[in-house]
Structure 1
């Protein structure tokens, strides 16, 4: 079930993403934009009282790196 977040004065989507998901990795802000059509029209700083749909976001998979030295 999708949760919602009610904005306060000065909130931005990246701040909301960080506060709610504790990450900005994995296109979180883009997923918020997709789940909230028209929210970008409100500008970068959202007015107070806007309900933002917070979609379920799959956990990020760690990318495996190459170990050069042991």
Structure 2
């Protein structure tokens, strides 16, 4: 479910919000966040105080198959 937040600090950009919420994986969500918030790009790179932003859901991490480890020393 998408999360709605309000910008409460100065110097906050959309990609910074995504980084703070999701870490490194948030970088891939910038396009989705722009789609969820039409007209947000017209506000400029730095979001004004009080701007309401809808953050997209973080996609699930794909399951990685187990890796077989070979030991050379025993």
Give me the TM-score of the superposition, normalised by structure 2.
0.71
Deviations 1:38-66 (A, max 9, x none): 00000001111101001212135489xxx
1:55 counterpart = 2:20? no
Distance in 2 between the 1:19 and 1:26 partners?
10
Q: Give unpaired runs (5+ residues) of structure 1.
A: 64-69
Distance 1:25 1:54, change over 3 A: closer
More helix by percentage: 2
Q: Give unpaired runs (5+ residues) of structure 2.
A: 65-69
Q: Counterpart in 1 of 2:28?
A: 27
Report the aligned-residue RMSD.
2.3
Give me the TM-score of the superposition, normalised by structure 1.
0.74
Please say if residues 25 and 60 of structure 1, whose CA atoms lie closer than 8 Å, have aligned partners that are also in contact: no
Aligned residues: 65
Q: Counterpart in 2 of 1:3?
A: 3
Please say if residues 5 and 52 of structure 1, whose CA atoms lie closer than 8 Å, have aligned partners that are also in contact: yes
